[in-house]
Amino acid sequence: MSPRLATTDGLPETVARPRYDRDTHGVGIVHLGLGAFHKAHQAVATDDALAAAGGDWRIAGVSLRSAAPSEELTPQNGLYTLIERGRDGTRARVVGAIARALALRTDRQAVLDALCAPETRIVSLTVTEKGYGVDRASGGVDLAHPAIQSDLAAPDAPQGVAGLLVWALGRRRAAGVAPFTVLCCDNLPENGHVLRGLLLDFAARAAPDLKDFIASEVAFPSTMVDRITPARGAETLALAEDLTGRRDEAAVETETFTQWVIEDRFPTGRPAWEASGAIFVTDVRPYEDMKLRMLNGAHSMLAYSGFLAGHAHVRDVMRDEALVALIRRHLSAAAATLAPVPGVGLAGYAEDLIERFANPHLAHQTYQIAMDGSQKMPQRIFAPAVEAMRRGQSLEPFAFAAAAWLRYTLGRAEDGAAYDLRDPRAAALATDRADAEGIVRHVEAIPGLIPPELTADAAWHGMVVAKLSRILQDGIRAVLVDEAGSARS
Ligand code: CS2
């Protein structure tokens, strides 16, 4: 059996490794949400920045729920293998940016100390859309969210994002330590703004004297983050061992493409992420909308319809002609809702997405993307549908995506096999109604999910009902073929 990865000594020449002396760089970032996406994206950019420009910018990674990430990384001194898989081959790289890996459950004091440390100048986050506890309708806290409930009840024993950040900002202020910059890296539109709104509302309820301080002193730059990162499987670990000759419990695999657009507002400094290709701009919104509506919108559409049609992976979807036609239709409809994106040609962006989705080496599950639809559909499908309506453009592609999602929320495949919806609003989505009209009306009545512009529009409603009704009656395959036919004509 190969030795476990714990140092870069003796790695094969073909494996890239940190081009800096890890021990001479201190920690400057606490990252909340130590999952595959962070390890494939921001930690890699930080590794590049450290090599190019140095600085005390290594990362203390924290997982808020599971202890597994820290159990995997700690025996490896924070090192892990990043496997980048493109059409032209597979590369392995050992990343050194993570200095410490902690779990809130088991290393609570160390996490709190790291959040309060004067050396911590940035707290970044990838906790998924549902992790924040934002009420999207009000922009404030979601009082039904378990972490918000527990943090409001016991603000001095914080468990969730809002509680931890507000508590730490309060402690820093009391100790005369400058606040950290808060960098949200999840797929939410205006993600910095959303997180700011959440913290202000949380502070108003739990620590009112901090509200104005947070409003005026803490920076929340927005970012658009992009790298397709499948959930890790046993094959990932086997491949890492093959490529490096080391066992690595923390290996991740991802595509070769990576993109990061960041609003340049870091009063407490930042790593030289531009060394890794990050673009700094004053307004991220056009890039975020492009990515959320085109990449993520097409992803959600293909995940629901592809899963129902029996495709386990995105690469299988890309071998299904009808679905590819629908992805193209979706991408151009989504592109038509966007404001111009500086420096980006949307037709070329769409072609690149088709290439990326078709990557034969990535086992990216449709079931993974299908997770948490209630948290994803608003920004990916409903917001562009509202914009398309304003512009007098066709709503068909968005109505199809909505119908496929609604069919998926029923929790059973066409052969009757049940699957777990994996959605925090699963209970609200569940209905006894089995007819399309009943299902659509039920979901339209859930507060804060489908925008009123859509629910009030008879044409939209009728289109979704008709498409869902046809899927229920004739099956997804028949509808895919029909929709693709009209997409091509
Ligand atoms: C995907 C994203 O799981 C999903 O919902 O659409 O995780 C997607 O792969 C990333 O945003 C790509 O950057």
Ordered by start, the domain boundaries in the chain are 22-281, 285-488
- The mean per-residue pLDDT over the stretch 427-446 comes to 97
For atom 5 of ligand 1, the residue with the nearest CA is 369
Q: Which atom of ligand 1 has the smallest separation from the CA of 364?
A: 9
Please report how many Cα atoms fall inside a 13 Å half-sphere around the Cα of residue 195, on the Cβ side: 33
Pocket-forming residues, ligand 1, beta carbon under 6 Å? 187, 226-228, 296, 299, 368-369, 376
pTM of the model: 0.98
Among protein residues, the one with the nearest Cα to ligand 1's atom 9 is 228
Q: Ligand 1 centroid to 257 CA: how many Å?
A: 13
Specify burial of residue 237 (Cβ count, 10 A radius: 0-12, 13-18, 19+).
buried
Mean pLDDT of 159-178: 98
Q: Which of 287, 369, 376, 422 to mutate to test the pocket of ligand 1 (most atoms within 8 A of CB)?
A: 369
- Write the single-letter amino acid at 233: G
Q: Which fold has domain 285-488?
A: N-(1-d-carboxylethyl)-l-norvaline Dehydrogenase; domain 2 (1.10.1040)
Torsion of CA 165, 168, 174, 176, to 10 degrees: -100
263's CB contacts (< 8 A; 6+ apart) are 192, 221, 222, 223, 280, 281, 282, 283, 284
Measured in Å, residue 470 CA sits from the centre of ligand 1 at 28
Q: What are the CA-CA distances from residue 149 to residues 163, 202, 425 (Å)?
A: 10, 11, 16
Window from 75-79, 202-206, 275-279, 483-487 with minimum mean pLDDT: 483-487
| pLDDT value at 488 more than 90 | no
pLDDT-based confidence at residue 117 (cuts at 50, 70, 90)? very high
Residue nearest to atom 10 of ligand 1 (CA): 228
Confidence band of 122 (pLDDT split at 50, 70, 90): very high
**In the predicted model, what is the mean pLDDT of residues 139-160?**
97
Closest Cα to atom 1 of ligand 1? 369
Burial of 418 (0-12, 13-18, 19+ CB in 10 A): exposed
Q: How far is the CA of 174 from the centre of ligand 1 (A)?
A: 39
d(CA 45, CA 422): 30
CA distance 216 to 471: 51
Amino acid at 387: E
Q: How far is the CA of 172 from the centre of ligand 1 (A)?
A: 34
Pairing of strands 27-32, 122-125: parallel
Probe target for ligand 1 pocket from 37, 296, 331, with the most ligand atoms within 8 Å of CB: 296
Burial of 420 (0-12, 13-18, 19+ CB in 10 A): exposed
- Classify the phi-psi angles of 277: left when phi > 0, otherwise alpha if psi is within -120 to 50, otherwise beta: left
Topology at the third CATH level for domain 22-281 = Rossmann fold (3.40.50)
Cβ(341)–Cβ(287) under 8 Å? yes
Over range 25-44, report the average pLDDT: 98
Note whether 267 and 366 are within 8 A (CB).
Answer: no
> Could you report the per-residue pLDDT of 216-240, keeping only the tens digit for each?
999 999 999 999 999 999 999 999 9
Residue 430, Cβ neighbours under 10 Å: how many?
A: 12
